[in-house]
Chains A and B, each alone.
Chain A
Amino acid sequence: MSQLVDEAIKSVTSEPVKYSSKDFQSDQDVRWCPGCGDYSILAQTQRILPDLGVPRHKMVFVSGIGCSSRFPYYMKTYGFHSIHGRATAIASGLKLARPDLTVWVVTGDGDGMSIGGNHFIHLLRRNIDIKVLLFNNQIYGLTKGQYSPTSEKGKITKSTPFGSLDYPFNPAALALGSSASFVARTLDRDPKHMQAVLKRAAEHKGTSFVEIYQNCNVFNDGAFFRFTEKDTKDDNVVFIEHGKPLVFGKEHNKGIRLNGFTPEVVSLADGKYSVNDLLVHNETDTTLSFILADMTYKSHLPRPVGIFLANDRPCYDEEMTKQIETARQKRGDGDMKKLLNSGETWVIN
């Protein structure tokens, strides 16, 4: 950070504030459709931010284009509503220039997986300390209802009247394949779970990726109801928790067991298997994280929700700072005058 920036941000004194969620609400009217899942995500984010111990003026929310990307306008932090797909790249530059800031990216399945897919995977492999929230509603909402890269194959939309031919991305698996260090999935209609996941994402050092299943009640209503509604949720979702066996079902009577490398559903009711036979989640095990993420589109398996992976890996931003510090120690502070006069020179009188 340059001296000028340092002076500027220190010139105004600010006392540590005990924030409430209200302190993170901007004066702008929230303009998502009534009933949109985005409201819940905004509320849960505003709820967990006060607990992070980071002053509001040190936080920046960067977004791209799409319904989700309106998010920064509603946050009383610094915010940048940028262009389609590029939020991750803008955030990367910002975090590298200003490692002192806490940088969040808000994106969607179109913004992050389609037009911004390239920046997304490269951010993850670099592991720059940025928190990415991907609102996945499996549809293009802002452009009024075309299929998205996470829509199920065969989806009938305005742009696919005969059914889409695209096989969907599995964002968690894509993130893991990009060597992400933190990968999680949560649900718009499970505020407690979302808060817990967001908090962990915020605390993680490195790129955190959180896929949030979000209902678009206008163009794709009910896409996730199987996983979010009371009567179907328990049998269709397995909540993965570090150190705990994978148990699910209304009566907690089903579990996931590994048969070789293949997960399978076993019953805990018929005496053949007990909890001790079940797969126990270890969120630092990259191999296991791939197996769990791969359960996602398998109809005979429950949908995994929770933290797939939380691993420590060096952050690009820290290493960049270190390279600069090392160079300064070794060669001294750069002297422009000296540089201009270095190398082979000659004098004309």
Chain B
Amino acid sequence: MAEKPTQTLDEVTIRFAGDSGDGMQLTGTQFTNTTALLGNDLSTLPDYPAEIRAPQGTLFGVSGFQIHFGSKEIHTPGDQCDVLVAMNSAALKVNLGSLVDGGAVIANSDGFNDRNLKLAGYASNPLKDGSLEKYRVFEVDITKLTALALQDLNLSSKIVDRSKNFFALGMMYWMYNRPIDSTVNWLTKKFGSKPEIAEANVRVLKAGWNYGETTEIFAVRYQVGPAKLPPGKYRNITGNQATAWGLMAAAKKAKLDLFLGSYPITPASDILHELAIYKQFGVKTFQAEDEIAGITSAIGASYGGALGTTTTSGPGLALKSEALGLAVMVELPLVCVNVQRGGPSTGLPTKTEQADLFQALFGRNGEAPIPVLAASTPADCFDTVFEASRIALKYMTPVIFLSDGYLGNGSEPWLIPDFDKLPDISPTFRTNPEGFLPYMRNEATLARPWAIPGTPGLEHRIGGLEKQNITGNVSYDPVNHETMVKLRTEKVERIANEIPPIDVDGEKDGELVVIGWGSTYGAIRSAVTKTRERGKKVSQIHLRYLNPMPKNLGDVLSKFKNVLVPEMNLGQLSGVLRMRYLVPTIPLDKVQGLPFKAVEIEKKIAEILKG
């Protein structure tokens, strides 16, 4: 048979969607790894329900995974997908809105039987009734083809059914010209003790690939070349993995043991899982009885001279508030990771949001200043949490590191850093009993000495009651209280002396600057790039340091006529900027549990620039 024609594309977005038990996250992750190995730039967005195994075929049980990859720079998981792989009718119904006009639907026809159609609320079969006219529809009986591929293996119908995602993966590998080796290796390793399952999955994967090759329904296949990324060695990494590794790297560079006190919570648990693996690094993970014990055990560990850390998501941060105040008062280093999710209350556990900025900045009783840093991309979690750890150790303070569900679960190619070049951040423990007082301070940083139990002659008491300046004894003196409140505030403010001044991307003054923080980076970047491609001028600022803010930020913002602040909340950074710098910001808010689409920001930019 003649080779099918190949068309070259510079970017593609694919969405895999099926039941939450269909293995869509796994399929997406495999496609991502293979794509990363080919040198494409990429960005991913897992989108899954809170239920582990929601009833089959239902709309709320649909799990999706979107990957945007290309031979050019990729900043977001893609506003819309070009290809939708729908394993059943519910998956089609839930995701059709994100498919571009003219996009491709690859539908598992077995998932469109009467029962499935009814569960998805379709009165008639959309594959047959013409309602998908504006899309290119490819019907493939994936269930049946999978069963055929495995018919001589005598496997249970459950195992056969569970393999069908690999058929879809195989087809997509064929369609986008990707080798299957990496997935084959992964399967062989993963199911080492169950070779029959490994074989079944490999066979189905190959069947899917071969189906693409031989079937007449696919007329073309596509080629997406490698991206021009800076030279070096790359790996793919999710935000949660980068956070875990960043903490480990920080502990190593601090020459301290890493202690994590944590209570499982979506979407932060993967950091706990990751850190629990690395016993040989001396990492101590403690799955505590609750969020409060998570943070307080970490404070106990810090008191003992470890790098104490705790990981959580929004509701958990609320529970940790009082303990954060204690850490402020006793002035011990602590890194508190908040992988934000939709709130309030239990909210949207598996969806992303940035609505905990106020909670991080202000959510404590009393004047309790805490440095707050936010990562902007999955890989940036490594650098930002490392920096958070550095600040915590140098200034003897708790630090809140903000990530979110999108960053935590999303992934991107990462230029592996040279570990030797990361700075030494090791603290100096106080050991000299001569003249020691627990609340004396370093002149430059205002940090108090870290005097750990076990050091002869430094026996002292700390606690949550107000401290007398310098001696650390309990004090109810009114003037002393004000002195201490101000000292603790100034200590945090002094961090601004050493953080880099904010750098504007684009013109340093003009009509419009778009300022963001956290995971909106990619969408803002894309929107700004596209606006500039249209010949318009727009500048961009992205904040890593939310408290304290870079010293020059107020001046920088004052040079622009308009300051647009896109956020996945109701204008929290926008409010902070108004409060601190009296700038008339324009908020652009989205609270749908999903990241911004670049086009949403681009539209707002166009509106402000009047075209």
Interface presence of B420 (CB below 8 A): yes
Given A82-B296, A90-B296, A5:B256 Cβ within 8 A: yes
Chain B residues with CB under 8 A of A56: 459
CB contact between A14 and one of B229, B301, B304, B457 (< 8 Å): that residue: B457
* Chain A residue nearest in CB terms to B308: A93
Which residues of chain B from 57 to 96 have any CB-CB distance to chain A below 8 Å in the complex? none
Interface presence of B416 (CB below 8 A): yes
Interface stretch, picked from A214-222, A234-242, A329-337, is A329-337
Q: How far is the CB of A123 from chain B (nearest CB, A)?
A: 9
A72 to B280, CA, bound (A): 35
Question: Cβ of B281 and Cβ of A334 under 8 Å apart?
Answer: yes
Question: Cβ of A93 and Cβ of B298 under 8 Å apart?
Answer: yes
Question: Cβ of A2 and Cβ of B306 under 8 Å apart?
Answer: yes
A101 to B300, CA, bound (A): 12
Question: Cβ of A78 and Cβ of B236 under 8 Å apart?
Answer: no
Question: Cβ of B300 and Cβ of A4 under 8 Å apart?
Answer: no
Chain A residues with CB under 8 A of B292: 86, 89, 119
Question: Cβ of A92 and Cβ of B326 under 8 Å apart?
Answer: no
| Interface class of chain B by DSSP | mixed
Question: Cβ of A1 and Cβ of B452 under 8 Å apart?
Answer: no
> Per-residue CB proximity of A326-348 to B under 8 Å, as 1/0?
11101111101101110111111
Question: Cβ of A12 and Cβ of B293 under 8 Å apart?
Answer: no
CB contact between A96 and one of B280, B286, B465 (< 8 Å): that residue: B286
Chain A residues with CB under 8 A of B308: 93, 97
Question: Cβ of B293 and Cβ of A327 under 8 Å apart?
Answer: no
A62 to B355, CA, bound (A): 35
Q: How far is the CB of B527 from chain A (nearest CB, A)?
A: 27
A289 to B457, CA, bound (A): 42
Interface presence of A9 (CB below 8 A): yes
* Chain A residue nearest in CB terms to B326: A83
Given A4-B256, A12-B456, A348-B226, A96:B305 Cβ within 8 A: no
* Chain B residue nearest in CB terms to A323: B279
Q: How far is the CB of B595 from chain A (nearest CB, A)?
A: 26
Chain B residues with CB under 8 A of A62: 300
Question: Cβ of A4 and Cβ of B280 under 8 Å apart?
Answer: no
Interface presence of A198 (CB below 8 A): no
Which residues of chain A from 167 to 212 have any CB-CB distance to chain B below 8 Å in the complex? none
Q: Tell which of B284, B300, B474 has the most Cβ of chain A within 10 Å.
A: B300
A334 to B278, CA, bound (A): 7
Chain A residues with CB under 8 A of B299: 82, 90, 93
> Per-residue CB proximity of B451-480 to A under 8 Å, as 1/0?
011111111111111000000011000000
> Per-residue CB proximity of A18-61 to B under 8 Å, as 1/0?
00000000101000000000000000000000000001111110
Question: Cβ of B462 and Cβ of A80 under 8 Å apart?
Answer: yes
Interface presence of B252 (CB below 8 A): yes
Question: Cβ of A345 and Cβ of B280 under 8 Å apart?
Answer: no
Interface presence of B303 (CB below 8 A): yes
Question: Cβ of B280 and Cβ of A58 under 8 Å apart?
Answer: no
Which residues of chain B from 265 to 285 have any CB-CB distance to chain A below 8 Å in the complex? 278-284
A331 to B278, CA, bound (A): 10
Question: Cβ of B420 and Cβ of A101 under 8 Å apart?
Answer: no
Question: Cβ of A341 and Cβ of B454 under 8 Å apart?
Answer: no
Which 9 residue pairs across A and B have the least CB separation, nearest first? A81-B463, A334-B281, A93-B300, A93-B297, A327-B279, A14-B456, A94-B300, A97-B301, A79-B461
Q: List 24 A-B contacts (CB under 8 A).
A: A2-B256, A2-B306, A5-B257, A5-B454, A8-B454, A9-B452, A9-B456, A12-B456, A13-B456, A59-B453, A78-B460, A79-B462, A80-B300, A80-B303, A89-B300, A97-B257, A98-B452, A118-B289, A122-B289, A328-B282, A339-B248, A341-B416, A344-B33, A346-B235
Q: Which residues of B come within 8 Å of A, CB atoms? A: 33, 36-39, 182, 226, 229-236, 245, 248-249, 252, 254-257, 259, 261, 278-284, 286, 288-290, 292-293, 296-306, 308, 322-323, 325-326, 330, 416-417, 419-420, 426-427, 429, 431-433, 452-465, 473-474
Q: Which residues of A come within 8 Å of B, CB atoms? A: 1-5, 8-9, 11-14, 26, 28, 55-60, 62, 65, 72-73, 75-83, 86, 89-98, 100-101, 118-119, 122, 320, 323-324, 326-328, 330-334, 336-337, 339-341, 343-349
Please name 11 further chain A to chain B contacts, defined as beta carbons within 8 Å, in addition to the given A5-B429, A8-B305, A97-B259, sorted by A numbering. Answer: A2-B255, A78-B453, A89-B300, A93-B261, A93-B300, A97-B302, A98-B453, A98-B454, A119-B296, A336-B248, A348-B231
